[in-house]
């Protein structure tokens, strides 16, 4: 069975890695890693392949940066050629980035002569991390989630709320499988490596003496007044506790253009380049709290029992609030909520069903039992 595992951007690599490692041991599976090249910097891409023990991508589309339409269009054009050439039986897309949706769109309209998978003349499309919804169509990721879930043939969800979202949208439960949170597989797979790093020492800091910050969402970093307000708040917080803020390329560029950079550098804030997976997770493991607008970090901090403040109006991962350590906040209350955390940071480690490091194993079983049997050449 020829399986394409699609990855594109930083948050995808840790979702693809556990599946790659689980599938490569199955004699019936030939796994091809397709990297669209949406993220291309060494520290946004290559570093993750090294940390996660992934081979170099077998196929690299090199689509790079651009507007949403440009990125989506380039992925569709380039990936369509690859599908027609390789004729995969199964295409697995992960997460909610532009490439996730673009690959799904391209694959949905393909027709192969003489081949069938589960009765269709095109590859089966599986979406891993299906069903998450922020209910905010102003977020490009929400559009990507909606389109991908409506087109994919099989939807693998991380938690029960995602199944409920899909049911509300009229998607048949026959298509949906609750498989769990794949990022926890990566975290557990690499726990020893993560724990062996001592990233905080690079900044002369001790465990639990600092906070981690990550911000890259357009809603926080693209508007100049909002970005300045964010930088000012982080500077104020750093008067109480040092912050380590590995800066995403989008954020760095905007902070430099907007004149925020030198003031941030002179505060009690470290501003390294984006870090690799193990180094970054080591910082999170040993932090007192995390301030972020990322999706995945809300889940990782919940799993680890580390307080997290998410500077967004909504989250597609509400379970991190109802069961976990996450709170939404605005720029106006970020300072006060951080101060509150500094006085009360002893939340226990929550347990969420299927966030157990066994998601990849469950997926391999599903592919074997429910998809592999349907592959036929007619
Ligand atoms: C993308 C995803 C977002 C995810 C984020 C993680 C979409 C719509 N967005 O946003 O969901 O949370 O990745 O990082 O798919 N750049 C570089 N080097 C790189 C990559 C990007 O310099 O390797 C710069 C470019 O100037 C680019 C900008 O960062 O224009 C933004 O990159 P892009 O891929 O468009 O979106 P992200 O903000 O990274």
∠ CA 170-173-177, nearest 5°, is 130
Q: Is residue 126 within 8 Å of residue 320, measured between CB atoms?
A: no
Q: Answer whether residue 113 shows pLDDT above 90.
A: no
Q: Measure 296 CA to ligand 1 centroid, in angstroms.
A: 15
For the cut 70, the answer to whether the pLDDT of residue 376 exceeds it is: no
Q: Where are the alpha helices (DSSP H) in 135-223?
A: 140-151, 160-168, 182-189, 191-196, 218-221
Q: Whose alpha carbon is nearest atom 16 of ligand 1?
A: 249
Position 114 pLDDT exceeds 70: no
Which structure tokens are listed for 57?
A: 């991508």
Q: Which of 13, 35, 38, 105 has the most ligand 1 atoms within 8 A of CB, as the residue to mutate? A: 38
**Cα 311 from chain centroid (whole Å):** 17
d(Cα 256, Cα 253) in Å, to the nearest integer?
A: 5
Protein residue with its CA nearest to atom 19 in ligand 1:
39
**Ligand 1 atom with least separation from CA of 41:** 23
Gap from CA of 212 to ligand 1 centroid (Å): 20
Are 179 and 355 contacting, i.e. CB atoms less than 8 angstroms apart? no
Q: Is the pTM of this model over 0.85?
A: yes
Count CB atoms within 10 A of the CB of residue 128.
Answer: 26
Active site residue 4: no
> Hey, which of 42, 60, 65 would you mutate to test ligand 1's pocket, going by the most ligand atoms within 8 Å of its Cβ?
65
The answer, yes or no, to whether residue 378 has pLDDT greater than 60, is no
Main-chain dihedrals φ then ψ at residue 263, nearest 5 degrees: -65, -40
Quote the pLDDT of residue 349.
83
CA–centroid distance, residue 276 to ligand 1 (Å): 16
Determine which of 158-167, 206-215, 336-345, 351-360 has the lowest per-residue pLDDT on average. Answer: 336-345
Please report, to the nearest 10 degrees, the dihedral formed by the alpha carbons of residues 260, 265, 270, 274 taken in order: 50
Closest by alpha carbon to 369, among 25, 26, 6, 18? 26
- The per-residue pLDDT for 344 is 73
Atom of ligand 1 nearest to the CA of 40: 23
Distance 41 CA to ligand 1 centre (A): 10
Quote the ligand 1 centre to 250 CA distance (angstroms).
7
DSSP letter string over 85-123?
Answer: HH--SEEEEETTSHHHHHHHHHHHT---TTEEETTBSS-
Among 4, 39, 216, 248, the one annotated catalytic:
216
Residue closest by Cα to atom 14 of ligand 1: 10
Sign of the torsion angle spanned by Cα atoms 164, 165, 168, 174: negative
Atom of ligand 1 at shortest range from CA of 97: 15
Given a contact cutoff of 8 angstroms between Cβ atoms, the answer to whether 99 and 71 are in contact is yes
List pLDDT tens digits, range 47-105: 999 999 999 999 999 999 999 999 999 999 999 999 999 999 999 999 999 999 999 99
- Which of 214, 227, 249, 292 for a ligand 1 pocket mutation test, highest count of atoms within 8 Å of Cβ? 249
| Ligand 1-lining residues (CB < 6 angstroms) | 9-11, 38-41, 44, 65, 96-98, 140-141, 216, 248-250, 253
Question: Could you read off the pLDDT of 157-175 as tens digits, one per residue?
Answer: 999 999 999 999 999 999 9
pLDDT (0 to 100) of residue 36: 98
Q: Is the pLDDT of residue 343 over 90?
A: no
Tens-digit pLDDT profile for residues 220-244: 999 999 999 999 999 999 999 999 9
| Protein residue with least CA distance to atom 3, ligand 1 | 97
DSSP 302-331: HHHT--EEEESS--S-THHHHTSSEEEE-T
């Amino acid at each position: 069975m020829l399986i394409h595992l699609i990855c594109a951007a930083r948050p995808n690599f840790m979702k693809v890695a556990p599946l790659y490692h689980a599938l490569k041991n199955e004699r019936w599976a030939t796994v091809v890693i397709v990297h669209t090249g949406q993220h291309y910097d060494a520290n946004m891409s290559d570093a993750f392949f090294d940390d996660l023990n992934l081979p170099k991508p077998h196929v690299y589309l090199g689509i790079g940066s651009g507007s949403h339409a440009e990125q989506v269009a380039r992925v569709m054009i380039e990936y369509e050629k690859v599908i027609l050439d390789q004729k995969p039986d199964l295409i697995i897309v992960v997460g909610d980035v532009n490439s996730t949706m673009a690959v799904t769109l391209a694959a949905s309209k393909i027709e192969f002569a003489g081949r069938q998978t589960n009765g269709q003349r095109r590859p089966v499309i599986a979406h891993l991390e299906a069903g998450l919804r922020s209910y905010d169509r102003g977020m490009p990721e929400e559009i990507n989630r909606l389109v991908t879930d409506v087109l994919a043939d099989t939807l693998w969800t991380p938690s029960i709320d995602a199944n409920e979202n899909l049911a509300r949208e009229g998607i048949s439960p026959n298509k949906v499988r609750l498989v769990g949170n794949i990022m926890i597989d990566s975290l557990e797979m690499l726990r020893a490596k993560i724990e062996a790093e001592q990233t905080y020492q690079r900044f002369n800091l001790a465990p639990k003496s600092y906070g981690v910050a990550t911000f890259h969402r357009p809603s926080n970093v693209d508007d100049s007044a909002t970005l300045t307000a964010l930088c000012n708040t982080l500077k104020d917080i750093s008067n109480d506790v040092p912050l380590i803020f590995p800066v995403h390329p989008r954020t760095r560029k905007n902070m430099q253009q907007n004149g925020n950079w030198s003031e941030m550098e002179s505060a009690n804030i470290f501003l390294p380049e984006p870090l690799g997976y193990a180094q970054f997770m080591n910082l999170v493991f040993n932090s007192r709290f995390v301030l972020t607008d990322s999706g995945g970090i809300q889940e990782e901090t919940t799993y680890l029992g580390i307080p997290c403040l998410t500077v967004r109006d909504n989250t597609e991962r509400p379970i991190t609030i109802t069961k976990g350590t996450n709170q939404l906040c605005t720029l106006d209350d970020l300072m006060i909520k951080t101060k509150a955390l500094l006085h009360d940071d002893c939340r226990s480690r929550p347990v969420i069903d299927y966030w157990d490091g066994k998601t990849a194993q469950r997926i391999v079983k599903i592919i074997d039992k429910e998809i592999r049997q349907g592959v036929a050449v007619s």
